Amino acid sequence: MSSASLDRIVINRLRRSRKQRVLIAALIAIVVAIFALALSYGQSLTPPGEVIRVLLGENVPGAAFTVGQLRLPRAVISVLAGLSFGFGGVAFQVMLRNPLASPDIIGISSGASAAAVFAIVVLSLKGPVVSILAIVAGLGVALVVYGLSYRNGVSGTRLILVGIGVSAMLESFIAYTLSQAPAWSLQEAVRWLTGSVNGAQLAQAAPLLMALLVFGGVLLSRARDLEALRLGDDTAAALGVSVSRTRVIIIVAAVGMIASATAVTGPIAFVAFLSGPIAARIVGSNGPVLIAAALIGAVLVLAGDYAGQFLLPGRYPVGIVTGVLGAPYLIVLIVRANRIGGSS
């Protein structure tokens, strides 16, 4: 038991955590940079000085409208929704040890969308009621998928397959409902199919932030249990994790977060799915992936929306941009999983 080896362990641990802090700080800086870009440069350039004055509440002619009314709500909602999608998605992926286990693949997002479309088209509902229904439906679908895949515990692969099946059923339900939709409700309903931050309002930020803080706090308090679950359910249990209870808590928190964001922006395709793996690439799969994935989610939505508005020919909602990014990665993952002969 030489103290030299102990010192080395301590030094390496401190070095690792310093490196991780630097990476997280860099990610935060990127989010802030894109946020600043989105506030100051759109159809026209607003000088940074004016942007800051608008943010401080001054009434700057012209800028007060473009920055305060158009760009700021959009950017704020993008950040909050991105954080929620990234965080909720990675929690699922880590818990089930499979990047395919993301809520947008296993039917949770389609559950929220299906409920919203049904509420708008068939029940002629509007406003917050639709959002609440969407959140409840997201949770409901999560529990149904979890229940259907339960047999002597839940295996990740079974849950993913059940989820993909449930997701397909919900998608066809959405398609059918839309085909019956009267023209006046169609536009409102379609918003639930492609995620978008068009028409974002600052008033939507407060509930979204609340959901993020509450559910995010719950997930962070379970971060160590999640880490242990990466070693397999048996090892995690041997390390003192109550596996089933932890899973239910994580599912409820992650779905709550994702469904709340979906209620505001609609399902922004693949953000939940992509953030975790990108974060793992950056901070290492054993680094602080939860926080990193949340930040990557914010980057994806902010940058995707910015690109959809200004960088591409024509204007696209953010969900189209992220969908185009995410689909090839999904194909790569499925091909790779099949080559290994199914993932565990």
Partner 1 sequence: MTVHTLTATALRAGYGETDILHGLDLAVPPGKITAIVGANACGKSTLLRAMSRLLAPRQGHVVLDGRSVHNTPSRELARTLGLLPQSPVAPEGITVADLVSRGRHPHQRLFSRWTRKDDEAVDRALSATKTTELAERSVDELSGGQRQRVWIAMALAQETDILLLDEPTTFLDISHQVEVLDLLSDLNHSRATTVVMVLHDLNLAARYADFLVAMREGRIHVCGAPEDVLTEDNVLDVFGLESRIITDPTSGRPIMLPIGRHRIATANAEDGMFR
Question: Residues of 182-220 as b/e, b for ≥16 C-beta within 10 angstroms?
Answer: eeebeeebebbbbbbbeebeeebbeebbebbeebbebbb
Tokens of 122: 């068939």
Pairs from 33-39 (Cβ < 8 Å, separation ≥ 24): 34/299, 34/302, 34/303, 34/306, 35/75, 35/79, 35/302, 37/306, 38/71, 38/74, 38/75, 38/78, 38/302, 38/305, 38/306, 39/67, 39/71, 39/72, 39/75
Residue range at the interface with partner 1 (CB under 8 A); choices 30-38, 50-58, 240-248, 293-301: 240-248
Residue range at the interface with partner 1 (CB under 8 A); choices 4-12, 66-74, 123-131, 132-140: 4-12
Among 121, 189, 228, 279, binds partner 1 (CB under 8 A): 228
Whether 82 and 306 have beta carbons less than 8 Å apart is answered as no
For partner 1, the closer of residues 189 and 294 by Cβ is 294
Query: Using CA atoms, how far apart are residues 100 and 114, in angstroms rounded to an integer?
Result: 21
> Should residue 155 be labelled a site residue for partner 1 when binding is judged by CB under 8 A?
no
For partner 1, the closer of residues 52 and 220 by Cβ is 220
Letters for 65-104 (x = contact with partner 1 by CB under 8 A, - = none) are --------------------------------x-------
How many residues at the interface with partner 1, by CB under 8 A?
31
> Should residue 234 be labelled a site residue for partner 1 when binding is judged by CB under 8 A?
yes
Q: Where are the alpha helices (DSSP H) in 104-155?
A: 108-121, 128-148
Query: Using CA atoms, how far apart are residues 240 and 139, in angstroms rounded to an integer?
Result: 27
> Should residue 2 be labelled a site residue for partner 1 when binding is judged by CB under 8 A?
yes
> Should residue 333 be labelled a site residue for partner 1 when binding is judged by CB under 8 A?
no
Query: Using CA atoms, how far apart are residues 161 and 168, in angstroms rounded to an integer?
Result: 11
Residue range at the interface with partner 1 (CB under 8 A); choices 9-17, 30-38, 202-210, 302-310: 9-17
- Name, in order, each residue with C-beta under 8 angstroms of 143's C-beta and a sequence gap of 6 or more: 251
Tokens of 31: 């989010």
Minimum CB separation from partner 1 for residue 121, in Å? 43
Residue range at the interface with partner 1 (CB under 8 A); choices 41-49, 100-108, 142-150, 283-291: 283-291
> Should residue 44 be labelled a site residue for partner 1 when binding is judged by CB under 8 A?
no
> Should residue 188 be labelled a site residue for partner 1 when binding is judged by CB under 8 A?
no
For partner 1, the closer of residues 228 and 318 by Cβ is 228
Minimum CB separation from partner 1 for residue 339, in Å? 16
| 3-state secondary structure at position 18 | helix
Q: For residue 150, what are the β-bridge partners? A: 154
Q: Where are the alpha helices (DSSP H) in 59-197?
A: 63, 72-95, 108-121, 128-148, 156-179, 183-190
> Should residue 227 be labelled a site residue for partner 1 when binding is judged by CB under 8 A?
yes
Minimum CB separation from partner 1 for residue 293, in Å? 15
> Should residue 5 be labelled a site residue for partner 1 when binding is judged by CB under 8 A?
yes
> Should residue 187 be labelled a site residue for partner 1 when binding is judged by CB under 8 A?
no
Letters for 205-224 (x = contact with partner 1 by CB under 8 A, - = none) are ----------------x--x
> Should residue 12 be labelled a site residue for partner 1 when binding is judged by CB under 8 A?
yes
Positions that interact with partner 1 (CB under 8 A) = 1-2, 5-6, 8-10, 12-13, 97, 151-152, 221, 224, 227-228, 230-232, 234-235, 237-242, 284-286, 344
